[in-house]
Amino acid sequence: MATLDQCMTALTGFVGRLAAKDAARDLDRTVSCRLTDLGQVVHGRLARGAVHDMTAVPEGPAVPKADIRLTMTSDDLLALTAGDLDFTPAWASGRVKLEAGLRDMLRLRSML
């Protein structure tokens, strides 16, 4: 199991790479990643081509619902961000879950 610090670093880098893509230039969306094995949700904002205000909070009803929501284990997050796990097969098998509106899903599809 990965640590929360490792996950924060990996997720900040992953979302940062997404934010730097041309397709994300005009995006202003909240993003979250629920780490099922750590009981934590990392929440932040993707805006103006960068990641802002990434914080981790314990899972629970007080966690705000993000526009784009990922769910996975900490080890899968590290494997995904290191390039050892391909997003599409992981999503298709249920190892990684992605929830977002249709417009965001279409935009993310071109970015992943």
The predicted-structure confidence for 61-76, as pLDDT tens digits, reads as follows 888 889 989 999 999 9
pLDDT single digits (tens) 3-16: 999 999 998 888 77
Spatial distance between the Cα atoms of 101 and 112, rounded to a whole number of angstroms: 16
What does the pLDDT look like over 24-43, one tens digit per residue? 777 888 999 999 999 999 99
Share of the chain above pLDDT 90, in %: 43
User: What pLDDT shows up at residue 79?
Assistant: 94
How many whole angstroms separate alpha carbon 56 and alpha carbon 44? 9
For the record, the structure tokens of 54 come out as: 């990434």
Cα 111-20-75 angle, rounded to 5 deg: 65
Q: pTM for this one?
A: 0.86
pLDDT for residue 56: 92
Residue 58 has pLDDT above 90, yes or no: yes
What structural domains does the chain harbor? 4-111 (3.30.1050.10)
Q: DSSP letter for 110, please.
A: H
DSSP assignment of 48-74 equals TTEEEEEEEEESSTTSPPPSEEEEE-H
